[in-house]
Amino acid sequence: MPSLEQVLVAASIVLATIGWIYAAAEQRRLARKTHTFDMLMTSDVTGDFAALLDEMDNRARNAPPPSPDMAAVDPDFRRALNFHEFVCAAIRDHTLDEALIRNTMRTRMLRLYDYSHDFIGALRKAQRNPEAMEHFEWFAVRRLGYDRWKRNLTANAARTS
């Protein structure tokens, strides 16, 4: 039978290990939030690229969806799509903090996904790549609730008409 001293030593080791695991997980969580914030601030979301994202958001609100013709694709539109795909891939890989991105970019991402949905389908066919923009679609549909957002948007538009 183990002595009281051996039990206390074993308990101390177990508690120290649990504390270390918790501290490491918390440090990783905080580092992810810091990295996300740094990425948002240094990715030129506050400069020229912000103007481009604003323009894409305005198009998504007011303009007809882009043509699925790959030869006529606006490079700014593709740049905005690629940026969102990069962000969503990083979220899926747990490199960026999902909650922070959701809180800062949710409506814009949903609006851009709605605007570009048909284009993404055409892009997949043209490139023979069913995985094109898969992270952006995953985030919009599964994590941001695109279908619910679209139903609410349609219901609100019908109420105000």
Each residue's pLDDT expressed in tens, for the chain with a length of 161 residues: 788 888 888 888 988 899 899 888 888 878 877 777 777 666 655 578 888 889 999 999 999 988 877 778 888 999 999 999 989 998 998 888 888 889 888 999 999 999 999 999 998 998 899 999 999 999 999 999 999 999 998 888 788 76
Report the number of secondary-structure helices (H) and strands (E) in the chain. Answer: 6, 0
- Residue-wise DSSP of 114-154: HHHHHHHHHHHHHHT-TTTTHHHHHIIIIIS-HHHHHHHHH
Name the nearest CA neighbour of 49 among 58, 60, 40, 38: 40
Tokens of 144: 């941001």
Pair 120, 137: CB distance under 8 Å: yes
Report the alpha-carbon distance of residue 110 to residue 43 in Å, rounded: 20
Look-up of token digits 């490079």? 75
